[in-house]
Structure 1
Amino acid sequence: MSRLSVTGTAEIDFPVDIFKVTVTIRANAPSSGEVIQSGKKKTEQFLALMQKNLGIEPDRFQLDSDSVNEDYSSRNSYNYTKRITLDMKAELSALSKLTSLLEELSNVEYDVAFYLSDEADKEKQVIDAAINNSREKAEMIASSLGKKIEGVEEIRFEHPSDARYRALAKAACADGCNSLETMLKLPTKTISKSIYIDWIME
């Protein structure tokens, strides 16, 4: 019995499934009381507009606390800021309608971020693929030597932080690798893994 160390690598692009839209509402007024009143009114108008034009209920938005600061560059001037976030299903048509409406509004800024709701599952798929890559290379080398791969002695990851996947990787050695369906129209997130496996060869 001997040991064969083989590196396995995998990189997969996953289409995101969550859009996180952050909207910033701003207002300006001569006093703190007036600017808060103005800012709250703009916020209420914004939520009503989202409900009327896009059918997005107000309770779907997450509202941060009001922020009021005195503008020292201008006498008797106060600035109001309110950040509102919305998590929505990654549908480009829905996002386009939302951003088109936001661009028509004054004193409103927005930003869009992209996420995977099941990133842990996607990482497992990449680990599976990296293990399969290592196993295929190990079997090819073993075959050329007239031997066979009989099992796994040790698994190591490229980064120490990946140690939490060690048990998962050992289970994946037996489970095989999941397939991936790509959706090229959506933004993607790339997940890559490198794994070092000491295979038992006989």
Structure 2
Amino acid sequence: MDSLAGTKVWADYNAAQATRPVRSLCLDAMALAGPGGGRQAIDLGCGAGKETLALLRDGWRVHAVDSLPDTRDRLLAIVPADADGRLSIDVRTFQELRALPPADLIFAGYSLPFIHPDHFGTFWTVMLGALGPGGVVAVNLFGDRDTWADVPEWNFHTEDAARRLFDGLQILKFEVYDDDGQSFRGPKHWHIYDIVARRP
């Protein structure tokens, strides 16, 4: 299968997200983290900005990260007037990141699986290193039975391996979706872990 990493593919994908609701995994993380109250959140792979906007509306300061060149313009076009400078934007790939701001909530919706396996471990350490005491992290990871699991540029995990990534954290939610469905490119078999965890 050809890579989905091309800028045009992701731009088209983001355009198609314009009418979808906020991802339930993000809403779960927000509910578990409590009201924003000016605390710091990070949206990794912010894409169309749906979750960034939801976090801002809930009172969070948001550091939004995405590699697409139009990320800044796209997000600034939807920021509410009462955001009061609570949004920071970092336009770069995950493997270019060496640090993230300390955060009480980190959300990565369908973005981490597209990190090259050679860079995934380093980025995972950077990401969890930003999570403060009591902080909540919510991510989607791809399982090893996913249709795309033969794409060498992306990362996939057995369930045991996915759970081990959260050693030292309290797993609050670990749901497995293992079924046929649709993707932006058409029918496929999805094997996904939806995970929410908290740092003690």
Instruction: Name the TM-score class by shorter chain.
Output: under 0.3
Higher strand share: 1
Greater helix fraction, Structure 1 or Structure 2: 1
Q: Which TM-score applies when normalising by structure 2?
A: 0.25
TM-score (norm 1): 0.24
